[in-house]
Amino acid sequence: MTVLLVALGAALGAPSRYLLDRTVQSRHDSVFPWGTLTVNVIGCFLLGLLTGLPAAPAVTALLGTGFCGALTTYSTFSYETLRLLRSKAWLLAGFNVVLSLVAGLGAAYLGVALAGAF
């Protein structure tokens, strides 16, 4: 049953990632990966919120592992950072790494803190 919950969550998270990434990126005339940054930060916030709440294992499998796992993308973050490095956009690559880490950790912390308020 858990595998089905993870698959269902992933079936919702992956298209959400694609649609949100494309929507955000289409609004920026930049080589900086704003779409990937956005989905990763939102995923960090949601996972922080979920882990801060008393959730059943089934909910954690569906939303945490499935949805957030498919929504966020470390591989695309890595690829886009390497793409920036290869195009000699050193500052943008460094900015992507630092901003992704700081914003992601901050969003996760905010999610846990917000869950603690309930």
Q: What total number of domains does the chain contain?
A: 1
Quickly count: other Cβ atoms within 10 Å of residue 109's Cβ.
14
- Share the mean pLDDT of the chain: 97
Could you tell me where the beta strands, DSSP code E, fall in the chain? none
What pLDDT score does 90 carry? Answer: 98
Q: Give the annotated binding-site residues for Na(+).
A: 69, 72
pLDDT in tens, 16-66: 999 999 999 999 999 999 999 999 999 999 999 999 999 999 999 999 999
Binding residues: 69, 72
Model pTM score = 0.95
Structural domain boundaries enclosing 61:
2-116
| Residue 86 Cα to chain centre, angstroms | 24
**d(Cα 57, Cα 84) in Å, to the nearest integer?**
39
Q: Which of 83, 63, 71 is nearest to 9 (CA)?
A: 63
Q: Hunting for tokens 């790494």 — which residue is that?
A: 97
